[in-house]
Structure 1
Amino acid sequence: MDLQAVRTFVAVTEAGGFLKAAADLSVTQQAVSKRIAALEQTLGVRLFTRAPRGAELTIDGRAFLPHARELLRAAERASASVRPGSRALRVDVIASRTAQSSAMRGFHHAHPEIGLDVMMLVSMDTAVAVLRSGELDATFRAVGAPGRPLPDDIESARVLDEPLELLTGPAHALADARAVTLTDLVGHRIWMPGIAPGTEWGAYYDDLVADFGLTIEATGPNFGSDALLDTIADTPSLATFMGKHSRLIWPKDHDLRRIPIKTPTPVYPHSLLWHRDNPHPGLGALRAYLAVTGERRDPEGTWVPGWVLGR
């Protein structure tokens, strides 16, 4: 259905005549008449009758009027859903309890006027593909993993370095330590069932294992963070790595311990990725917010894989 004709029909109804509607629409009266005639032909009914005081709706015109107005409202909603600045900013994070999610909550608090749609895509390839298609505005990823070059039209900025901590149950051999080193962890079982093969965070932990001789096990299904915490609390031989800014809640009787890792401190390098031609004004606001609030660690005393540093 021709929305221009529908809009003209509503204008004639509200103006009470063709001449006044033509003035309101900044077109000629002949153009209004042609649009109404075309709409009547499409519908197969008369919409107006001529009257001394202008144009009056027929029975069919009165029946069509509420639907015509809803068509125009639907068209406006459809347009607004993709209009830069009107639709929600779509941002991908790894998981709901990570530093990335905390950063997005802070951004939403600082900019409540910007609509926000947060999603979780597992694959970097998927995230980059939807960035390029325009279905996604930004994603948080670690950039530089071997075999994962960014396309030329995707830009990135390192926005947050998150220290890793050791998470143990109360009976673990290191549970009472105030801090540990990566050397202290050699020979201990680090259980991380959430590592997905082929991901950039999988490459991160592969390099951590190679550089420090650690034992990281990714066996078993990933039932989520609650199941992971239950297992760590009940199994003295297991520990896991957790981002310092990850928000965790567990039963009091779990008595879990979050232990800092020192000299060096492994940090996970979160970068923001976006398409260089993305016009959404909320993207600029997000980048500016992260530039001010993001935490960047001094390389001295920290560890990241060589590919993060471009070596």
Structure 2
Amino acid sequence: MDLEAVRTFVAAAEAGRFQEAAAELAVTQQAVSKRVATLERDLGVRLFTRTPRGAELTIDGQAFLPHARELLRVAERAVASVRPGGRPLRVDVIASRGATSGLMRGFHQAHPEIELDVVMLFDIEQAVAAIRSGVIDASFRAVAMPGRPLPEDVESVRVLDEPLQLLTGPAHALAGARSVTMAQLVGHRIWMPGIVPGTEWGAYYDDLVAEFGLTIEATGPNFGSDVLIDTVADTPALATFMSERTRLVWPADHGLRRIPVTDPTPVYPHSLLWRRDNPHPALATLRAYLAATAAGHEAAGTWVPDWTIRR
């Protein structure tokens, strides 16, 4: 069905005269007559009766009018849903309790006028595909994966280096330390059941193990952070890595310790990814916010994998 014909029909029905509808639509009266005639042929009914006073709706025209108005409203909503700035900015943060989620909360506080749609996608391949197809506008990732460069139409910029800390229970051998070096961690069991082979965080921890000779165990099902900290609190032989920016709440009687890691401090590198030609105006606002709030990268005494994009 021709929406311009439907729009012309509604204008004529509301004006009561084809001449006034033509003036409102900035077309000729002949164009209005042709559009209405085309719509009548498509529907197989007469919509207007000509009278000395103008054009009056037939019974079929009266029945069709509310549906025609709804068709125009639906069409306008459809256009608005893809108009730049007319839909929420859709951003992947990977996990709700991590540092990138905190970045987006800060952005929302700074720009409450921008509507956001925050999602959590699993791996980088899925995120890049969603960026390229327009399903999401941006994603926070550690890039680039070894042997998997980003497509040419996807841009990235480094926005956050996230220092890792050691999380232990009160009975762990390192629980009383003010800080621990990477060398002191050798021989201790670090339990991280959330590591999944083939992900960028899997590649990160593989390189961390290879570089410093650590023992990182990813055995057992991943029941989430609550079960992880319960187990670490109750098991003196286990510790885990936790970002200093990870937001967690645990019972006071757990007695957990968050201990800075030094010489060097392993940092997890987060970059913002987006499609080069994405026109959403809020994306530029997000990038400017991250550029203004991001701390410097490659600080002295820190470590990232060799494959990390440096800018």
State if a TM-score over 0.5 links the two structures.
yes
SS of the residue corresponding to residue 166 of structure 1 reads strand
Residue 309 to residue 157, structure 1, CA distance change in 2 (3 Å):
closer
CA distance in 2, matches of 1:140, 1:88: 17
- 1:33 is displaced (CA, Å) by 1.1
Q: Name the structure 2 match of 1:72.
A: 72
Q: Name the structure 1 match of 2:244.
A: 244
- 1:53 is displaced (CA, Å) by 2.6
Q: Bigger shift: 85-94 or 297-306?
A: 297-306
Structure 1 gaps of 5+ residues are none
- 1:298 is displaced (CA, Å) by 4.6
- 1:74 is displaced (CA, Å) by 0.9
Letter in 2 for 1:137: D
- Aligned positions of 1:54-133 closer than 5 A: 54-133=54-133
CA distance in 2, matches of 1:58, 1:102: 60
SS of the residue corresponding to residue 56 of structure 1 reads strand
CA distance in 2, matches of 1:53, 1:252: 83
Q: Name the structure 1 match of 2:271.
A: 271
- 1:297 is displaced (CA, Å) by 4.1
CA distance in 1, matches of 2:112, 2:276: 24
RMSD over equivalenced CA pairs, Å: 1.6
- Aligned positions of 1:138-217 closer than 5 A: 138-217=138-217
1:128-149 superposed Cα distances (whole Å, 9 cap, x missing partner): 1222222221111111331111
Letter in 2 for 1:51: T
- 1:254 is displaced (CA, Å) by 2.2
Q: Name the structure 1 match of 2:284.
A: 284
Q: Bigger shift: 226-235 or 181-190?
A: 226-235
Letter in 1 for 2:44: G
Letter in 2 for 1:47: L
Q: Number of residues paired by the alignment? A: 310
Residue 74 to residue 309, structure 1, CA distance change in 2 (3 Å):
closer
1:52-91 superposed Cα distances (whole Å, 9 cap, x missing partner): 3322222222222222111111111111111111121121
Is the contact made by 2:13 and 2:57 (CA closer than 8 Å) also made in structure 1? yes
1:135-179 superposed Cα distances (whole Å, 9 cap, x missing partner): 221111111331111112211110111111111222222222222
- 1:252 is displaced (CA, Å) by 2.7
- 1:213 is displaced (CA, Å) by 0.9
Is the contact made by 2:158 and 2:309 (CA closer than 8 Å) also made in structure 1? no
Is the contact made by 2:164 and 2:242 (CA closer than 8 Å) also made in structure 1? yes
SS of the residue corresponding to residue 249 of structure 1 reads coil
1:95-117 superposed Cα distances (whole Å, 9 cap, x missing partner): 11111111111112212222211
- Aligned positions of 1:17-56 closer than 5 A: 17-56=17-56
CA distance in 1, matches of 2:235, 2:242: 17
SS of the residue corresponding to residue 41 of structure 2 reads helix
- 1:93 is displaced (CA, Å) by 1.5
CA distance in 1, matches of 2:302, 2:177: 20
SS of the residue corresponding to residue 68 of structure 1 reads helix
CA distance in 1, matches of 2:256, 2:157: 34
Structure 2 gaps of 5+ residues are none
SS of the residue corresponding to residue 90 of structure 1 reads strand
CA distance in 2, matches of 1:176, 1:297: 30
Letter in 2 for 1:17: R
SS of the residue corresponding to residue 307 of structure 1 reads coil
Residue 55 to residue 270, structure 1, CA distance change in 2 (3 Å):
same
Q: Bigger shift: 155-164 or 54-63?
A: 54-63
Letter in 1 for 2:26: S
Letter in 2 for 1:37: A
CA distance in 1, matches of 2:192, 2:159: 25
Q: Percent identity?
A: 75
Q: Name the structure 2 match of 1:16.
A: 16
- 1:309 is displaced (CA, Å) by 6.1
CA distance in 1, matches of 2:278, 2:2: 31
Letter in 2 for 1:8: T
- 1:199 is displaced (CA, Å) by 1.2
- 1:218 is displaced (CA, Å) by 0.9
CA distance in 2, matches of 1:3, 1:136: 30
Q: Name the structure 1 match of 2:296.
A: 296
SS of the residue corresponding to residue 291 of structure 2 reads helix
